[in-house]
Amino acid sequence: MRRFAAAIAAVLLLLSATPALSADTVAGICFSPPRDGREDCRSLAVREIDGAEEAIRMLAYSFTDEPIADALIRARKRGADVRLVMDRSNVCAEGNDDEDGGKACGRHGAAIADRLSRAGIEVRIDRKHPILHDKVIILDRHRTITGSMNWTRNGAERNGENLVVLEGRDTARTFAADWEEHRSHSEPYAPASKRR
């Protein structure tokens, strides 16, 4: 309970010290691994994605979590404009698609990138930076999920991680501008079947 109270106090302090964020509401906080009967971070992220109606923008360092991918695909099927920029570590290097039967590619997110791309979701790969280390989801231009958790099973179930959901157009706009900058220098992802 102390850790939860300290996290809320830290977020409130951050919000009060940052003018652009001061009007935001903390709509959710979670920690991984799940404990104390509180909602786990994967469930929080999936619930938020499932509530999106118009647009989802996502930045992902590591993305291998099927339930989060499933939620993005459901959003796309509902008609939401879903777009993703991933770190290059998520995809296989040219010419390495078939090494070890594709297992390394699956571990590093290429399987998720393929699924999302085939579902009609724009997937782009950021190769400009040594690492795109962001973990951000912007929902309907007014809600932002961010924190330390990678979009992976380990991030959701094993690692010590956190996420915070912020409700506020100014914060969402700031994160969306950063997302657009990453998108502008990223390359479109080509599913494995198109690279052969």
What pLDDT sits at residue 38? 85
pLDDT digit string, tens, across residues 25-70: 999 999 999 888 888 999 999 999 999 999 999 999 999 999 999 9
- List the catalytic residue out of 40, 140, 170, 178: 140
Torsion sign across C-alpha atoms 79, 47, 91, 86: positive
Tokens of 144: 């932002």
Among residues 180, 85, 88, the alpha carbon closest in space to that of 129 is found at 88
* The pLDDT of residue 28: 94
95 Cβ neighbours under 8 A, 6+ residues apart: none
Q: Return the CATH number at 13.
A: 3.30.870.10
User: What is the span of the domain harbouring residue 177?
Assistant: 2-195
Please indicate whether residue 170 is annotated as part of the active site: no
Highest mean pLDDT among 3-12, 16-25, 73-82: 73-82
Burial class of residue 55 (count of CB atoms within 10 Å of its CB; 0-12, 13-18, 19+): middle
- Per-residue confidence (pLDDT) for residue 102, from 0 to 100: 44
Task: Give the global pTM.
Answer: 0.81
| pLDDT attached to residue 6 | 55
Tell me: the pLDDT tens digits for 91-123?
A: 865 434 444 444 455 455 788 999 999 999 999
Count how many domains the chain has. Answer: 1
What is the pLDDT at residue 98?
A: 40
Q: For residues 14 and 21, is the Cβ–Cβ distance under 8 A?
A: yes
Say which of 103, 128, 133, 185 is annotated catalytic: 133
Per the model's pLDDT, the better-predicted residue between 132 and 195 turns out to be 132
Average pLDDT along the chain: 85
147 has pLDDT over 60: yes
Would you mind telling me the total number of residues written for the chain in this entry?
Answer: 196
Q: Which of 24, 65, 126, 135 is catalytic?
A: 135
Residue 140 appears among annotated catalytic residues = yes
135 is catalytic: yes
